[in-house]
A and B are shown apart, each in its own frame.
Chain A
Amino acid sequence: MQGNEACAEGAFYAGCRFFAGYPITPSTEVMEIAAARLPKLGGVFIQMEDEIASISAIIGGSLGGMKSMTATSGPGFSLMQEGLGFACMTEVPCVIVNVMRSGPSTGSPTGPSQSDVMQAKWGTHGDHPAIVLTPSSVQELFYETVRAFNLSEQYRMPVIILYDEIVGHMREAITLPAPGEVEVINRIKPDCPPNEYKPYDKKYGDIAPLAAYGEGYRFHVTGLYHGEDGFPTNNTKLIEETAQRLIRKVDNNRDKICKNEEFYLDDAEIGVFAYGLSAKSAKFAIKELRKQGIKAGLLRPLTIWPFPEKAVEELSKQVRAIIVPEMNLGQIVHEVERVARGRCEVKGVLRADTEPIKPAQIIESITGNGFFPSS
């Protein structure tokens, strides 16, 4: 099965029944599969007039009570940023898939890249939280898509699945779990009388139950700063409270949201911090290095936002250097530097020529850098 197909299947497994999208390479297969499968599942597929319309429609669909998703790539993702902010502010669950291509602008449509990691976090304006998942295999894409929906429903916010063209178009044999085998989380619906319902009710803590339109709870949703009843406010105290709460609901749950894989890390003297496809090359490189007697290990984040600060901090205390291979000219490497705070050397292995990072490059960066010179 192809990566993009596994992503779509993961979405259906998670209960996604609404897809609105606009064609863009290399994400289009996700949409094509949604077009073919959703009517059979009794769901809704619609091809919108552009990416802005697509994200708008899935937010509307989610407010109508359906788990909703769209898929896009760099330029389309840029167009979706305002809608992404709207979903953050209004706390409407939805999933956005960004199959990264090389850029900026139209760039190289079929060239893989990892250059949207910062856009995924900082693309929309204002202070807001972000949950971004970075699967690196076809099987993982399935599971992480289910997890994306679960996190989105749980924390009432948009969740982004970020992978590159190679993961999207790669074919691998995968096992599809039986229904019920993997946990599927649904948003909490209100059970109070409709006249007592507040869409951002503080009595539930940071995340309130979310009603659907047309089910007896008449409520208001706006992209303006609002109070717990959902109506616009200019009250500075309420604005600050809402802004803080949005950040807090992710910050306070970092441990539950962050997910990492460790590979030969126990005794590692050199750490590699790699996500997505680059992590595949890193694994290969580490096996080779181990054969040479070099103690290298991998920390692979499946959640890149919120940034896995705790794990990187621990790693920085353990190793002499952290190597960060990325298909961009330096994005996450700066985050690793920030968290490492000079405790160890941090070195990017970067390229933006639409070629994947090769294991040899990672090996060379370690052996050729004086950490472990090859004899």
Chain B
Amino acid sequence: MSSQTEETKPLAKKKKKVPFDYSPYIRGGKLPHIWCPGCGHGIVLKSLLRAIQTTGFPQDDIAVISGIGCSSRTPGYVDFNTLHTLHGRAIAYATGVKLAKPKLKVIVTTGDGDALAIGGNHFIHACRRNLDMVIMVYNNSIYGMTSGQSSPTTPQGMISTTGRYGSVEPTFDTCNLAKAAGATFVARGTAYHFQELEKILHEAINHKGTAVVDIIDACPTYYGRFNKYKTATEMMEKIEKEGTVSVKQAGTMSPEELEGKLLRGILHKSDRPEYLEEYNKLIERVQKK
């Protein structure tokens, strides 16, 4: 009976217009993903795939590399050259891949704990070297995979399983840290502003040098539950929408209005020489002798 239905109503006629076809970039059979309902990581992934498509990089020339954690499961789902490494070490692995295969556009997908705690040393030195790669920090201010411990971006006073009475430690501002360490492209986006994020990632991928994109995201399962957010939507609105302002908007706001808000958009850009360009010059120089 069902086959009759199909015959009488061809699917092609019913087919809705698909604005973007994700299927070439997703590995069939590797979904569903492990991310919880309400988690923004999937939205971030969509923005990334759309950004990759608009930059026109061939799939064979993209490498997606991660450490350990929720965000770090990204490489498993996407059909590129993919590497899921050790906790905190994604950037160091990415450095090796990029140096061995310079034609690859290397994209690191890492979390706030992975990049800024255990991987903090690699993070700052990657920024210093300015080797061509994109570092996407999926920043939900908590360790999701290990069930909700404080991370270097957990705001002071917020609750986690290791900050039961309110986190005592001050937080890192990923963007300030990246800029100070020498990254030549520093930006911030959110899962809520997914179209803006796509544009930022497009710019980051096209940038020649170390590009850091801090992506504010929310973990409803742990951060949300501990800190009395009722729904994932409420978290998105409070943390991502109301907690951030675009660089453009910020220009019209008073310091009082900007208090406690994170800036969104491209925050820093400089054209310091890229590592491999410098290294190749060195090769040329020493081989002439």
Q: Which residues of A contact B (CB under 8 A)?
A: 18, 20, 39-40, 42, 44, 46, 48-50, 52-54, 56-66, 68, 82-83, 86, 212-216, 218-224, 231-232
Contact A61 B96 (CB under 8 A): yes
User: Which residues of chain B from 266 to 289 have a CB within 8 Å of any chain A CB?
Assistant: 279, 282-283, 286-287
Contact A213 B286 (CB under 8 A): no
Residue of A40, A44, A82 contacting most chain B CB atoms (<10 Å): A44
Q: Please, how many angstroms separate the alpha-carbon atoms of A83 and B30 in the complex?
A: 26
Contact B30 A56 (CB under 8 A): no
Across the interface, which residues of A come within 8 angstroms of B86, CB to CB? Answer: 56, 82-83, 86, 223
Contact A61 B286 (CB under 8 A): no
Which residue from chain B places its CB closest to the CB of A216 in the assembled complex? B60
Q: Give 1 or 0 for each of B94-105: 1 = CB within 8 Å of chain A CB.
A: 111111110110
Main SS of the interface on chain B? helix
Which residue from chain A places its CB closest to the CB of B121 in the assembled complex? A49
Across the interface, which residues of B come within 8 angstroms of A52, CB to CB? Answer: 89, 92
Q: Give 1 or 0 for each of B189-207: 1 = CB within 8 Å of chain A CB.
A: 0000000000000000000
Is B84 at the interface (CB under 8 A from chain A)? yes
Across the interface, which residues of B come within 8 angstroms of A20, CB to CB? Answer: 95-96
Sampled A-B contacts (26; CB under 8 Å): A18-B96, A39-B286, A44-B100, A49-B121, A53-B121, A53-B122, A56-B86, A57-B96, A58-B96, A60-B83, A60-B98, A60-B99, A60-B100, A62-B100, A63-B96, A63-B97, A64-B96, A64-B100, A64-B104, A66-B100, A82-B86, A213-B83, A219-B82, A220-B27, A220-B76, A220-B83
Contact B85 A86 (CB under 8 A): yes
Taking A59-B93, A218-B79, A220-B76 as given, write out 16 further A-B residue pairs in contact, using a Cβ cutoff of 8 Å, ordered by the A residue number. Answer: A18-B96, A18-B99, A39-B287, A40-B286, A54-B92, A61-B97, A62-B100, A63-B97, A65-B100, A66-B100, A212-B101, A214-B104, A220-B83, A220-B84, A222-B83, A224-B84
Across the interface, which residues of B come within 8 angstroms of A214, CB to CB? Answer: 60-61, 63, 81, 101, 103-104
Contact A50 B76 (CB under 8 A): no
How far does the Cβ of B57 sit from chain A's closest Cβ, in whole Å? 11
Q: Total interface residues on B, using CB and 8 Å?
A: 38
How far does the Cβ of B132 sit from chain A's closest Cβ, in whole Å? 14
Residue of B76, B89, B94 contacting most chain A CB atoms (<10 Å): B89
Is B35 at the interface (CB under 8 A from chain A)? no
Across the interface, which residues of A come within 8 angstroms of B80, CB to CB? Answer: 218
Contact B81 A222 (CB under 8 A): no
Q: Which residues of B contact A (CB under 8 A)?
A: 27, 30, 59-61, 63, 65, 75-76, 79-86, 89, 92-101, 103-104, 121-122, 125, 279, 282-283, 286-287
> A40-B286, A42-B283 in contact; A219/B81 too (CB < 8 A)?
yes
Contact B99 A44 (CB under 8 A): yes
Q: Please, how many angstroms separate the alpha-carbon atoms of A63 and B85 in the complex?
A: 12
Across the interface, which residues of B come within 8 angstroms of A39, CB to CB? Answer: 279, 282-283, 286-287
Contact A68 B89 (CB under 8 A): no
Partner of A83, one of B89, B95, B104: B89
Which residue from chain A places its CB closest to the CB of B89 in the assembled complex? A56
Contact B286 A60 (CB under 8 A): no
Across the interface, which residues of B come within 8 angstroms of A18, CB to CB? Answer: 96, 99-100
Contact B82 A221 (CB under 8 A): yes
How far does the Cβ of A193 sit from chain B's closest Cβ, in whole Å? 14
Across the interface, which residues of B come within 8 angstroms of A46, CB to CB? Answer: 95, 99
How far does the Cβ of A220 sit from chain B's closest Cβ, in whole Å? 5
How far does the Cβ of B209 sit from chain A's closest Cβ, in whole Å? 16
Contact A213 B95 (CB under 8 A): no
Contact A223 B84 (CB under 8 A): yes
Q: Please, how many angstroms separate the alpha-carbon atoms of A62 and B30 in the complex?
A: 26
Contact B89 A231 (CB under 8 A): no
How far does the Cβ of B25 sit from chain A's closest Cβ, in whole Å? 11
Which residue from chain A places its CB closest to the CB of B30 in the assembled complex? A231
> A40-B287, A59-B93, A83-B89 in contact; A218/B101 too (CB < 8 A)?
no
Contact A57 B84 (CB under 8 A): no
Q: Please, how many angstroms separate the alpha-carbon atoms of A20 and B104 in the complex?
A: 19
Q: Please, how many angstroms separate the alpha-carbon atoms of A86 and B89 in the complex?
A: 11
Q: Please, how many angstroms separate the alpha-carbon atoms of A222 and B85 in the complex?
A: 6
> A216-B60, A218-B60 in contact; A61/B89 too (CB < 8 A)?
no
Across the interface, which residues of B come within 8 angstroms of A42, CB to CB? Answer: 283, 287
Which residue from chain B places its CB closest to the CB of A221 in the assembled complex? B83
How far does the Cβ of A112 sit from chain B's closest Cβ, in whole Å? 30
Contact A53 B89 (CB under 8 A): yes
Partner of A57, one of B27, B92, B101, B279: B92
Contact A220 B96 (CB under 8 A): no
Which residue from chain A places its CB closest to the CB of B285 in the assembled complex? A39
Contact A220 B82 (CB under 8 A): yes
Which residue from chain B places its CB closest to the CB of A54 in the assembled complex? B92
The 6 closest A-B pairs by CB, nearest first: A60-B96, A64-B100, A56-B92, A57-B96, A61-B96, A213-B81
Contact B121 A50 (CB under 8 A): yes
Across the interface, which residues of B come within 8 angstroms of A61, CB to CB? Answer: 96-97, 99-100
